[in-house]
């Protein structure tokens, strides 16, 4: 028919920023799962409440730990969707926290020099700061990465105004 428009098929393209990296590594999640009766993999994937339950019950008496062997890919996917990827790498920060947290190396890595020094001099604020960071590390890094994106977008917006 003449004059009738043919509807165009909609195409969807997933936007992936240049330099995109995953926020949470599946391989590191499985490495933390090896000591998962402590809840390490759950903390890493941003599940601090169940991580604490796993810690105090030794992975729900081993049963939850074994079940998590199959749940790690879903926890990784959920973490990818929830937390901002960026220049501050979750894996590096978590490894620094787990092994050197009382010395504040993870804080120095995040650019938090003052609290890094405070942790260094006080043993992670006598362990209290260390526990706080275990519970909030993903949110801290996500905030840093989100602020970096906002800063770059603001800079580009200012440049476009010129």
**pLDDT of amino acid 106:** 98
Q: What is the pTM of this model?
A: 0.80
What pLDDT, in 10s, does the model give residues 72-127? 999 999 999 999 898 999 999 999 999 999 999 999 999 999 999 999 999 999 99
What pLDDT, in 10s, does the model give residues 39-85? 999 999 999 999 999 999 999 999 999 999 999 999 999 999 999 89
pLDDT at residue 8 tops 70: no
pLDDT at residue 21 tops 70: no
18 φψ region: left (φ > 0), alpha (ψ -120 to 50), beta (else): beta
**pLDDT of amino acid 16:** 46
Reported confidence tier of residue 150, pLDDT bands at 50, 70, 90: confident
Centre a 10 Å sphere on the Cβ of residue 23 and count the other Cβ atoms it contains.
24
* 49-63 CB burial, b ≥16 within 10 A, e <16: ebbbebbeeebbeee
Reported confidence tier of residue 157, pLDDT bands at 50, 70, 90: low
Cα-trace Rg, the chain = 21
């Amino acid at each position: 028919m003449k004059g009738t428009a043919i509807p165009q098929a909609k195409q969807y393209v997933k936007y992936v920023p240049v330099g995109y990296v995953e926020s949470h590594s599946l391989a590191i999640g499985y490495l933390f799962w090896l000591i998962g009766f402590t809840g390490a993999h759950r903390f890493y994937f941003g599940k601090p409440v169940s991580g604490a339950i796993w810690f105090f019950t030794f992975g729900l008496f081993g049963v939850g730990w074994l079940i998590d062997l199959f749940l790690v890919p879903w926890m990784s996917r959920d973490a990818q969707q929830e937390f901002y990827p960026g220049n501050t790498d979750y894996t590096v920060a978590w490894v620094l926290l787990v092994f050197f947290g009382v010395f504040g190396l993870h804080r120095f890595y995040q650019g938090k020099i003052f609290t890094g020094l405070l942790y260094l001099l006080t043993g992670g604020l006598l362990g209290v700061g260390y526990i706080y960071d275990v519970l909030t590390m993903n949110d801290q890094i996500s905030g840093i990465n989100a602020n970096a994106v906002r800063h770059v977008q603001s800079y580009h917006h200012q440049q476009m105004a010129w």
